[in-house]
A and B are shown apart, each in its own frame.
Chain A
Amino acid sequence: EPEVTQTPSHQVTQMGQEVILRCVPISNHLYFYWYRQILGQKVEFLVSFYNNEISEKSEIFDDQFSVERPDGSNFTLKIRSTKLEDSAMYFCASSEGSWREQYFGPGTRLTVT
């Protein structure tokens, strides 16, 4: 069964450094999402992406964040200058259509020191 994959599974970085989290959505899916879950808290929406542009972004998704689909398979989340509070689990998700279920990847645990 096709699945969403994410790399790396765990990333440790120093405050102020740039990180890129990578996702490979399910191949025939057209909608892509990033969510974040700070340890012990609820899952929060960051951004949705369709047709090579951002559909919606949350207040969390400030100028330090960007998303890109550099080729036909990858979907990336970049944090330009990481802060301690960016430490969280980042989940990528994709769906076939806007009305269809979102399937999540296994997540990338980001630790900012």
Chain B
Amino acid sequence: AQTVTQSQPEMSVQEAETVTLSCTYDTSESDYYLFWYKQPPSRQMILVIRQEAYKQQNATENRFSVNFQKAAKSFSLKISDSQLGDAAMYFCAYRSSLIIQGAQKLVFGQGTRLTINP
């Protein structure tokens, strides 16, 4: 079974600075998807960024980018120019790419609570 580990329960960063959240995962599959979800105090889960394992290029979405190291099974999220609205719980998630019944579930890490200091 796949597992996802986020070793940083809490992180804080000064507004406008850059912060990196860590995520490692364990899988025997060669193709899969990785995601970062944001959960603000409202508790809704919002998709931040997605990475396909077969792509070598790291995904970017505006101020959010990832550092995907497939061999190391590492998938970190970098937030540049941090804003107060970035304060949230961030979850890393894994999903298999197998097109078989039941392969679509997301496996989440424990989450990292990010605080932005003004």
Contact = CB atoms under 8 A, between A and B. Distances in A.
Say whether A and B bind each other: yes
Contacts, number: 64
Interface residues on chain B, size class: 20 to 34
Contact of B105 (A48, A89, A91): A48
B94 to A, nearest CB: 11
Contacts of B109: 42
A43 B108 contact: yes
Closest 8 CB pairs between A and B?
A56-B102, A104-B45, A45-B105, A43-B108, A106-B44, A98-B104, A42-B110, A55-B102
B91 interface: yes
A93 B97 CA distance: 18
Interface in B25-51: 33, 35, 37, 42-47, 50
A95 interface: yes
A35 B93 CA distance: 13
